Structure 1
């Protein structure tokens, strides 16, 4: 990864993900890590000058209770740069995990960044909040499977496959940001993960992507220049009519 400034790994890059979303058993949950676990120090040492975003299951002790969050952390050789707990939980996750309640962009060596976790990108308000906070790059870390209720043998025909790509491009274009999307691949339990990692420019154009197999979507982009160019004529954030919207 020599020369890489930003690496975005999938949700569950540390510890894995659920094996079933329809009826997940507690015994099948992935291992949970404390945010201060020694493994993160090892990752930071490996990062060097590279900024790395990765997903895991976080365990927290709150008022005597043990709580688990789908979480993401952004690391650099110098330390932790930012954190995110998944805001929107699909029903299978909500049985065992607690949702986060905060969206926060943060400064990094590659500029101001925000993080989301898979289902979060279904909700435009989440990405918009990060963009309003000044994020020019949004990293969306996913463990996004193919449709579990209406299966198809070909991923291009899968509804979740189409939505995954649609959300990536729409969120980049509507917020005029660089969108970096990662995802798990292959089979895990009953789930078939889509892959389809990609880098999308502020105009909604896909610069690089993977297929359904493991791989890296690699793009070279001047983030600040591309964001400025996209917003030169039409600046979506500046042209919002907040007083009209209900939410």
Structure 2
């Protein structure tokens, strides 16, 4: 991992089904973060090119969502690639992605673009949440991506509730995991510290940097609450937003903090994978049912 990495999380408010305008604004924000704050890694939320899905299945919305979605590479990634080349920054954004061959099939994707404007990685959301199942097919692989900043893993929102995913990425060498969110306020409840807590937990469990970038604004009556956060390898908060407004939070990721934490607690040496088979077994498999007496 690079000795110091300047990261900016942009709490972007997407305009519903307006990919051209969203791409233009995101490109401007990349240039601004790099110019004014020396950002080397600029991160946008889930589904930044199209906005989030409606809360109930609607054939007309599905048609318009597919029309607004894009291939990768495509118009939004090309616009962000130009901004990456001009700024010298890495860019990560959530994209509603068309399947390259199969019509009317969509992925909820996180795309990593390097400073040369090349697509350095694509991760599809593995765990579709609630109404997303009506529009997106889940991803079928987990990967990490080598960059000049370090090895980066990507996740999308609901994925963070499955700690196995972050562990798989850590075992593949991830030093930084970026989680792109489109998390809305639940009825009667604003989860003030939910992103901070999840980032801190995943970071501490794997002794790496973990950042959660949530969107803001409203779509179809849903209110997205922002409150993005960045956690260090010991679980400490490096930066956090207390706001549901469009803003950026920034931090310096110091490689020595990762090394020091992994020397202090030898998490990966101390694993006992021979005991973890039930995690990957089907729920109905009786051969892996936990038995014994208390």
TM-score (norm 1): 0.90
**Counterpart in the other structure of 2:221:** 190
**Counterpart in the other structure of 1:27:** 60
**Counterpart in the other structure of 1:101:** 140
CA drift of 1:27 comes to: 2.6
Give ranges in structure 1 of 5+ residues lacking alignment. none
Of 72, 77, 82 in structure 2, the residue corresponding to residue 40 of structure 1 is 77
**Counterpart in the other structure of 1:121:** 160
**Counterpart in the other structure of 2:42:** 7
Whole-Å separation in 2 of the counterparts to 1:122 and 1:220:
25
Listed one character per residue, the Cα deviations across residues 169-211 of structure 1 (whole Å, up to 9, x for unaligned) are 1111101110121011122112111101111101111111112
Of 74, 96, 114 in structure 1, the residue corresponding to residue 112 of structure 2 is 74
Give ranges in structure 2 of 5+ residues lacking alignment. 1-32, 280-294
1:16–1:56 contact (8 Å) kept in structure 2: no
TM-score (norm 2): 0.76
1:177–1:202 contact (8 Å) kept in structure 2: yes
Question: How many residues were matched structurally?
Answer: 235
Range with greater deviation from structure 2 (103-112 or 23-32) = 23-32
**Counterpart in the other structure of 1:200:** 231
Q: What's the secondary structure of 2:119's corresponding residue?
A: strand
CA drift of 1:130 comes to: 0.6
Query: Is 1:178 paired with 2:209?
Result: yes
Whole-Å separation in 1 of the counterparts to 2:236 and 2:261:
11
Of 151, 154, 158 in structure 1, the residue corresponding to residue 188 of structure 2 is 151
2:53–2:131 contact (8 Å) kept in structure 1: no
Whole-Å separation in 2 of the counterparts to 1:38 and 1:92:
26
CA drift of 1:61 comes to: 4.7
Of 236, 239, 243 in structure 1, the residue corresponding to residue 270 of structure 2 is 239
Whole-Å separation in 2 of the counterparts to 1:215 and 1:238:
40
Q: What's the secondary structure of 1:7's corresponding residue?
A: strand
1:185–1:195 contact (8 Å) kept in structure 2: yes
Query: Looking at CA atoms only, which structure, 1 or 2, has the larger radius of gyration?
Result: 2
CA drift of 1:168 comes to: 1.4
Query: Is 1:220 paired with 2:255?
Result: no
Whole-Å separation in 1 of the counterparts to 2:42 and 2:76:
17
CA drift of 1:122 comes to: 0.5
Whole-Å separation in 2 of the counterparts to 1:19 and 1:184:
15
Listed one character per residue, the Cα deviations across residues 31-77 of structure 1 (whole Å, up to 9, x for unaligned) are 21111213322211111310111001111155x55311100100023
**Counterpart in the other structure of 2:9:** none
Specify which structure has the bigger relative contact order, considering alpha-carbon pairs within 8 angstroms and separated by 6 or more residues: 2
**Counterpart in the other structure of 2:98:** 59
**Counterpart in the other structure of 1:140:** 179
CA drift of 1:238 comes to: 2.1
Larger proportion of helix: 2
Whole-Å separation in 1 of the counterparts to 2:59 and 2:182:
18
1:11–1:56 contact (8 Å) kept in structure 2: yes
Whole-Å separation in 2 of the counterparts to 1:141 and 1:77:
20
